Structure 1
C-alpha cells in the first residue's frame, strides 16, 4: 500500500464525496482519481451514486468522471489499512 492509498483509505471509514476526500488528503484532482481507481480495482473501496450507499456502482460502469460519486472503504480495505 502506498502512502497516498493509506491517506485516502483513512478518509473512507464513512461514506465521503470526492470533494471531501480531495480537501482532506490535499492531493491534486487527477492524482486522487488515479488513487481511487487503483483502490477500486483492488476491491478496497466501493463507489456509490449517493450518500445513502444502498447500491454500489461497479468499477466497469463508472466511466472517467470519478468526481461525482461517493466512496467507502470495504472490509478488505480497512483490514489492509489497519494492518499497516
Structure 2
C-alpha cells in the first residue's frame, strides 16, 4: 500500500464525499482520482452515489469520480490497520 493510499484510507472510516476528501487532503484532482481508482481495484473501498447507495458496476473515476461518496471496505480497513 502506498503512502497516498494509506492517507486516503485514513479518511474513509466513514462515508465521505469526494469534495470532503479534496478539501481535507488538498490533493490535485488527478492524484485523488488515481488513488481512489487504485484502492477500488484492490477492493479496499466502496463507491456510492449517495451515503447509502453502493455502486456495484464498473466506475469511471475520470467521468463520475467527483460526484461520488466513498467508504473503506472491511478488507481495506484490515490492510490499513496492519501497517
Q: Does the alignment reach a TM-score above 0.5?
A: yes
Runs of 4+ in 1 over 4 A off after TM superposition: none
Three-state SS of the structure 1 residue aligned to 2:5 is helix
Q: Structure 2 length normalisation: TM-score?
A: 0.91
Structure 1: gaps of 5 or more residues: none
Q: Structure 1 length normalisation: TM-score?
A: 0.90
Distance 1:59 1:25 in 2: 27
Question: Which residue in the other structure is 1:42 paired with?
Answer: 42
Aligned residues: 81
Question: Which residue in the other structure is 1:57 paired with?
Answer: 55
Deviation at 1:59, TM superposition (A): 5.0
Deviations 1:38-73 (A, max 9, x none): 00010000000112x2x421351x223200000000
Structure 2: gaps of 5 or more residues: none
> Root-mean-square deviation (CA), in Å?
1.1
